[in-house]
Chain A
């Protein structure tokens, strides 16, 4: 009786350990990345003062050869001339710093992406983990055409137009560092710039040198009726005059008179009229509802069907 009871207990215990081990390995990995992103990134992303860059296998190889304990030591106590003890974050526990070192070493071995970490404690559930992380063929990916979230707002060295060979590229600010604290939207930079400004999360100057200068915002909506089923367009002067000068639009793009301008979607898509900015710098044309925001107030014929 006791024996039969014990077996499942052992099995359960083993299962718990396995789950626990997986959990800590993952937590450890996350912790390392978090510490890196907060503290070490300041130098180890751009390679400031000769710091080996994250994911730069060549720069890390000779250091990794000196052994993980040497690296832990350098990170904890600092290394002359420019690596400060604990990267300057002396209030962090040793374990956090070690986790960051593990993360950086893993990223170096991984040759750049920093995605796969070595997960030292993952020996027991290794098989399961491997099965879970084994890359699926691209043909089976969930989204075939839509850009996955992980590919949005990449840092300059990975964005396809900046040259990663250029040292200046690595000194540029990664957009997400900023965007994470701004209200998000669905397209463009994926930042709601109108909200960011309204909520004083950003304070862009209205004058090149005078931080106190403020725009004279004009609150005048112009409704443009649209043929067909699309809701009418409400053009708001308010949001525009918060960013722009009257002369940016009048008279070059729009004659300042309601209805005096012929505007069509085709023109907008080709970069004229509203399309001078929308689809280039301001939110893009895919966001139909932001412009087409006014329900038609005359319903043509009331449908006879009982809903």
Chain B
């Protein structure tokens, strides 16, 4: 975690709460995608592919969090899993399901690589995004 632990008294916590309230109403321009859509863009832009958009709402109708975040080992961090196509084809991460058996397979590039080019790694509509603290483009390790 790169964010410093704020030893803030509760007043500044309330100030943050207020900031969230304002953030939650002042939608920044056109960004109004579904809550919890994750944009993953560690390598895509550089490789000339559109960034990947992972829709939580769609997957949580079909699977509990546990399946991905405990069994398949997805860390709770957008961009924090160093996913690439070799791993996917080998059945890791998205490839554990997008294998033509549980869900449609990898040849449907454009269903995953569907983001506007240049969109940074992010959890869409997250509190941090609303607080306008730019989320660290994850996985720069």
Chain A interfacial positions (CB closer than 8 Å to B): 145-147, 151-154, 156, 159-163, 166-169, 171-173, 175, 178, 187-191, 193, 202, 204-209, 215, 227-228, 242-245, 247-248, 264-267, 269-272, 275-277, 279-281, 284-286
Specify which chain B residues have a CB less than 8 angstroms from the CB of A269 in the assembled complex: 13, 16-17, 20, 127, 131
Contact A243 B16 (CB under 8 A): no
CA distance A59 to B140 in the complex (A): 43
- Residues on A with C-beta less than 8 A from B45 are none
Chain B residues, Cβ within 8 Å of A243: 60, 64-66
Task: Kindly provide the distance from the CB of A229 to the nearest chain B CB, expressed in whole angstroms.
Answer: 11
7 closest Cβ pairs, A-B complex:
A168-B110, A279-B127, A159-B33, A245-B70, A265-B13, A160-B30, A145-B25
- From A145, A147, A162, give the contact of B115 (CB < 8 A): A162
Q: Does B48 contact A (CB under 8 A)?
A: no
Asked if B58 and A188 sit within 8 Å, CB to CB, the answer is no
**Chain B contacts to A: CB under 8 angstroms:** 1, 3, 5-6, 8, 10, 12-14, 16-17, 20-22, 24-27, 29-37, 39, 50, 53, 55-58, 60-67, 69-72, 76, 96-97, 102, 108-117, 119, 123-128, 131, 133
A243–B69 Cα distance when bound, in Å, is 10
Min distance, Cβ B65 to any Cβ of chain A, angstroms: 5
Chain A proximity of B11: nearest CB distance (Å):
10
Excluding A243-B65, A269-B16, 6 further A-B contacts by CB distance (< 8 Å) are: A145-B26, A154-B32, A160-B116, A168-B113, A169-B114, A178-B57
For B69, give the chain A residue with the smallest CB separation: A248
Chain A residue contacts of B50, Cβ below 8 A: 163, 166
Q: Is the CB of A193 within 8 A of B60?
A: yes
Complex: A245 Cα to B67 Cα, angstroms:
9
How many residue pairs link A and B with beta carbons under 8 A? The number is 185
Which residues from A are CB-within-8-Å of B76? 248, 276-277
Q: Point out the residues of chain B lying under 8 angstroms from A281, CB to CB.
A: 36, 56, 60, 65, 123
Tell me how far the C-beta of B32 lies from the nearest C-beta in chain A, rounded to whole angstroms.
Answer: 5
Which residues of chain A are within 8 angstroms of B63 by Cβ–Cβ distance?
204-205, 208
* Residues of chain A within 8 A of B31, CB atoms compared: 160-161
Chain A at the B interface: SS class:
loop
25 contacts across the A-B interface (CB closer than 8 A): A145-B26, A147-B27, A159-B37, A160-B116, A162-B114, A163-B50, A189-B35, A189-B57, A204-B61, A208-B67, A208-B97, A227-B10, A244-B65, A245-B66, A248-B65, A269-B13, A270-B3, A272-B3, A277-B76, A279-B20, A280-B123, A280-B126, A280-B127, A281-B56, A284-B35
Chain A residues whose C-beta falls within 8 Å of the C-beta of B16 in the assembled complex: 265-266, 269-270
Nearest chain B CB to A278 CB, angstrom units = 8
B residues less than 8 Å from A280 (CB atoms)? 36, 123, 126-127
Instruction: Note all chain A residues with C-beta closer than 8 A to B117.
Output: 163
